[in-house]
């Protein structure tokens, strides 16, 4: 039974609409949703398929925070689609559409390994299509592909590791607040933001950063056959660059967008014609074109979502509400932190 009674959250909606478009949906008795295939483009007389999988936003192996609680796990969303593409005999290749500034070291490495696993188990080629941004961890996972395409204006590169830290101890001491940890060893409170910075702590962190950075650089060397080795150190010093510059340095294979990646996937799979498909969650909005993000669960209408189970409908899309919210301090990231100070 459906109810549309007014609820106090409407006050929140009224407050927030002045800042950003709002869409929030509450669903009771929700069941696990299946992945549903949608055709977003196709060649004439196509019998085979190429699956486009979106990799959007931060790459972490954990649920992303949401306005009303934990959201989806980005690694899980991609792996579920890879598994579906692997077991579908009519899908002959995958295009990863990456639009990400990166994420955690572990999340990026897990997803890289999952893409390589898909390639080895299925023997289906993987092509990367870089969108607006495919930097740091976004570039790291692209290295798992057989071919990488970037738009001339794509922002990519940012090859490196960062541990963002912040220290409040001096400011707190000025107002009479002093912190002191009771700890089992000198490094148990490493990079404690409430106590004065210790060089010994930062040497430990630097050692881990150097380890992860060396692994990133080795992946670039191993996976990029046309790499300009004369500029390798410069290309991997953390700088960002355009897709056109990345091509000149051998970090990508060619320039082009989603359609050129579709053609490359067909070429590598040895097929002439194919349907371009995406997987979306059952009840989510049907992607109109290849550019639609099918990795998120966005119901089109109350009736389309799950008839009879959605109550007190209030839709709040808070994307952009916290545009400068960054990652937690003292974690390791393959991340281009464009919005950080």
Which residues are marked as active site? 136, 188
| 228 token code pair | 């300009």
Please say whether the dihedral angle defined by the alpha carbons of residues 134, 223, 113 and 291, taken in this order, is positive or negative.
Answer: positive
- Rounded-to-integer distance, Cα 211 and Cα 63, Å: 26
129 in Cβ contact with 98 (< 8 Å): yes
Q: Where are the beta strands (DSSP E) in the chain?
A: 35-42, 48-56, 65-66, 69-70, 91-100, 102-104, 126-135, 147-150, 155-157, 240-242, 254-255, 274-281, 333-335
194, with CB counted inside 10 A (0-12, 13-18, 19+), is: middle
Q: Name 134's Cβ contacts closer than 8 Å, sequence gap at least 6.
A: 98, 99, 100, 128, 142, 150, 154, 155, 156
At 55 the three-state DSSP class reads: strand
Let me know: does 318 contact 65? Beta carbons within 8 Å: no
Kindly state the tokens that stand for 274.
Answer: 């194919």
* Placement of tokens 């990795």 in the chain: 295
Spatial contact of 312 and 10, defined as CB atoms under 8 Å apart: no
């Amino acid at each position: 039974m459906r109810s549309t009674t007014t609820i106090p959250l409407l006050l929140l909606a009224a407050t927030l609409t002045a800042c950003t478009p709002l869409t929030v949906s509450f669903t009771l008795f929700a069941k696990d949703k299946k992945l549903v295939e949608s055709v977003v483009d196709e060649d004439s007389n196509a019998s085979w398929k190429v699956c486009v999988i979106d990799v959007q936003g931060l790459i972490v192996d954990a649920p992303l925070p949401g306005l009303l609680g934990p959201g989806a796990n980005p690694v899980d969303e991609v792996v579920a689609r890879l598994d579906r593409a692997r077991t579908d005999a009519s899908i002959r290749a995958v295009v990863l559409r990456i639009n990400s500034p990166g994420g955690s070291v572990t999340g990026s490495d897990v997803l890289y390994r999952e893409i390589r696993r898909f390639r080895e188990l299925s023997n289906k080629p993987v092509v990367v299509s870089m969108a607006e941004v495919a930097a740091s961890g976004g570039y790291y996972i692209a290295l798992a592909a057989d071919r990488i395409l970037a738009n001339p204006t794509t922002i990519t590169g940012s090859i490196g590791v960062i541990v963002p830290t912040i220290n409040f101890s001096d400011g707190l001491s000025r107002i009479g607040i002093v912190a002191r940890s009771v700890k089992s060893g000198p490094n148990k409170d490493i990079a404690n933001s409430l106590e004065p910075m210790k060089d010994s702590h930062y040497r430990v962190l630097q050692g881990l950063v150097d380890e992860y950075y060396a692994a990133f650089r080795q992946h670039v060397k191993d996976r990029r056959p046309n790499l300009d080795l004369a500029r390798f150190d410069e290309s991997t010093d953390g700088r960002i660059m355009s897709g056109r510059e990345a091509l000149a340095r051998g970090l990508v294979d060619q320039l082009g967008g989603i359609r050129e990646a579709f053609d490359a996937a067909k070429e590598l799979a040895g097929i002439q014609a194919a349907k371009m498909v995406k997987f979306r969650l059952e009840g989510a909005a049907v992607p109109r074109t290849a550019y639609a993000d099918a990795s998120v669960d966005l119901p089109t209408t109350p009736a389309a979502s799950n008839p009879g189970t959605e109550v007190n409908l209030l839709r709040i899309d808070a994307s952009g509400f916290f545009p400068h919210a960054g990652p937690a301090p003292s974690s390791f990231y393959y991340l281009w932190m464009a919005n950080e100070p």
